[in-house]
Amino acid sequence: MAKETIIVSHWSTMIQGLQVSPQEFFNAIEDAIKEKELPNAKHSRIDWKEGGIMSAKREYLRIRRADHAFDICGAPFGNGFFVSWWLGQVPAAWLAFLMRIPVIGILAERFFKPQTYYRIDTRLMFQSLVHGAVMQVIDEMTKAKGLRALGDVERKPEMRDFFAT
């Protein structure tokens, strides 16, 4: 995600024995999200560099709603399939610019985009819905291949402190 993006949550797992293409995985997630009727969401494919300037790129599925974006990775690795997602808050360009200015940045963020229960709840709704779609797709694919389902601990996302400044 861009430098201005504030990562608020992350999740990942490795599914041993699952052999599927990233495109098939991404298409299934897009279908699952469509079934859930997520309002005002847009999806696209984006490329993130694996490292520096000359490094290869890896394709991610991006689900964006308002000022939040999910970047979802699905990639064959060894004899399995790795899945991860990153949920970030992506401020508008003008706010990102102001946030870079010492002191003014903190004031601008608190004045124009303060953390409120509503904002946090909306982010959590978005996270729950997209994470649920990812879990649904993983459950369907592992069941179809006769693989072990993910346990409760494997399903739980890592969340950041909502009120950290």
What's the distance, Cα to Cα, between the start and end of the chain in Å? 19
Q: Write down the pLDDT at residue 110.
A: 76
Residue 127 backbone dihedrals phi, psi, to 5 degrees: -60, -45
With a CB cutoff of 8 Å and minimum separation 6, the contacts of 75 are 22, 58, 81, 82
Q: Write down the pLDDT at residue 164.
A: 54
Burial of 15 (0-12, 13-18, 19+ CB in 10 A): buried
Six-digit token string for 139: 């459950």
pLDDT in tens, the chain (165 residues): 445 778 889 999 999 999 999 999 999 999 999 999 999 999 999 988 878 887 888 899 999 998 899 999 999 999 999 999 999 988 766 666 666 778 777 777 777 777 889 988 999 999 999 999 999 999 999 999 999 999 999 999 887 665 554
Please report the domains of the chain, with CATH numbers, ordered by start residue. Answer: 6-149 (3.30.310)
Count other Cβ atoms within 10 Å, centred on residue 20: 16
Q: Write down the pLDDT at residue 47.
A: 87
Sign of CA dihedral 86, 100, 98, 115: positive
Q: pTM here?
A: 0.84
Amino acid, res. 115 = Q
Segment holding 112, helix H or strand E: helix 104-112
Q: Write down the pLDDT at residue 56.
A: 82
Q: Write down the pLDDT at residue 99.
A: 66
For residue 88, CA distances in Å to 70, 132, 142, 159 come to 7, 17, 28, 11
Q: Write down the pLDDT at residue 33.
A: 96
Q: Write down the pLDDT at residue 93.
A: 67
- Which residues pair with residue 103 across a beta bridge? none
